[in-house]
Amino acid sequence: MSGGGDDGDADDVPWEGRAMTAAFAFANACADLARRGPYNKGAALDWVMACLMTEFWDRGFSQTEIRSAFEQALVDMPGYAAGEERRGGG
């Protein structure tokens, strides 16, 4: 069932909210993999980002779209991070 009402289905949540929830869950899974993995955090993140890029490609995003999205995220990062290299200093 989709549409109105308070049944809590995904259609009741704005697209941006669903995107944020997906990004949050993905980042938590990546952080867990980095903590448990045999590599340092940087190497684990490199691997995950390479896998993510190929998954985007496999789902029909163009190289230009993928590159542009990654580059835009990097441009936006300093404003979000407020000059800090890592959240929480850890």
The total number of structural domains in the chain stands at 1
User: Cα(69)–Cα(61) distance, rounded to whole angstroms?
Assistant: 10
pLDDT value at 52 more than 60 = yes
User: Cα(55)–Cα(30) distance, rounded to whole angstroms?
Assistant: 15
Does residue 6 sit within a domain?
no
Query: pLDDT: is 78 or 68 the higher one?
Result: 68
Does residue 7 sit within a domain?
no
- Average pLDDT rounded to a whole number, residues 37-44: 79
Residue 44 is predicted with a pLDDT of 87
Distance from the Cα of residue 4 to its chain's centroid: 28
Does residue 87 sit within a domain?
no
User: Cα(44)–Cα(37) distance, rounded to whole angstroms?
Assistant: 7
Q: 9 in helix, strand or coil?
A: coil
Residue 48: other Cβ atoms inside 10 A:
18
Contacts of 56 (CB under 8 A, 6+ apart): 65, 66
Provide the residue range defining the domain that includes 42: 13-81
Residue 11 is predicted with a pLDDT of 74
Question: In which band, very low, low, confident or very high, does the pLDDT at 8 lie, cut at 50, 70 and 90?
Answer: low
pLDDT value at 83 more than 60 = yes
Query: pLDDT: is 45 or 6 the higher one?
Result: 45
Q: pTM, whole model, 2 decimals?
A: 0.72
Helix (H) or strand (E) run with residue 29 in it:
helix 15-36
Residue 9 is predicted with a pLDDT of 60
